[in-house]
Amino acid sequence: MSFTIIPATTDHAAVINSMTHELAEFEKLPNGPQLSESEFREAIAEKNLFGFVALIEEQIVGFVMCYYGFSTWQGKFIFMEDLYVRPAHRKGGIGKALWKEVAKVAYEQNLRRIQWTVLDWNTNAINFYKSIGATDMHDRDGWLDFRLFRPAIAQFVGGNSENGV
């Protein structure tokens, strides 16, 4: 079945938000998504998130959501936060088409990179990424990603009230 890809708008927020839950299930992290539909809509409205949806006969069958990051080495870049195609619509080129729309945005703005994360067991995705010429940044340079969660943020701040701005 043929599909079309259009920019994501606030009208799509509810469906995209529920699909992030489907993606989280796939990632075996079903308790990950915590955002409400209205928070999601606001994120799109305020352009904190931007992206595209894939439609088949006006039904959303896939999406990609991104934001802009900043590298002190290469400037503004796109961080691809989520990409998902519903199981029934896979193997039809929709995933690659969504990727291409993101690449087009990066190209038109003359951005130097697109970044994203993937789970190390997701070999299908990893093979696709390598086939388009992407690099595992830990493999190449030894970069590790760290995260401080909210309780630890609070604890860290609690013990360190030194000179502030």
Range 56-95, binding another protein (CB under 8 A): 65, 67-76, 79, 81-82
> In angstroms, rounded to a whole number, what is the distance separating the alpha carbons of residues 135 and 124?
15
Q: Does 97 bind another protein (CB under 8 A)?
A: yes
Please tell me the total number of residues recorded for the chain in this structure: 165
Longest CA pairwise span in the chain (Å)? 61
**Residue 122 CB, nearest approach to another protein (Å):** 9
Q: How many CA atoms lie within 13 A of 104 on its CB side?
A: 11
Range 7-66, binding another protein (CB under 8 A): 17, 20, 24, 29, 32-35, 39-40, 43, 48-49, 65
Instruction: Report helix, strand or coil for 108.
Output: helix
Residue 107 known to be catalytic: no
Q: Does 2 bind another protein (CB under 8 A)?
A: no
Q: Which amino acid is present at 30? A: P
Range 144-163, binding another protein (CB under 8 A): 144-157, 160-163
Annotated catalytic residues are 129
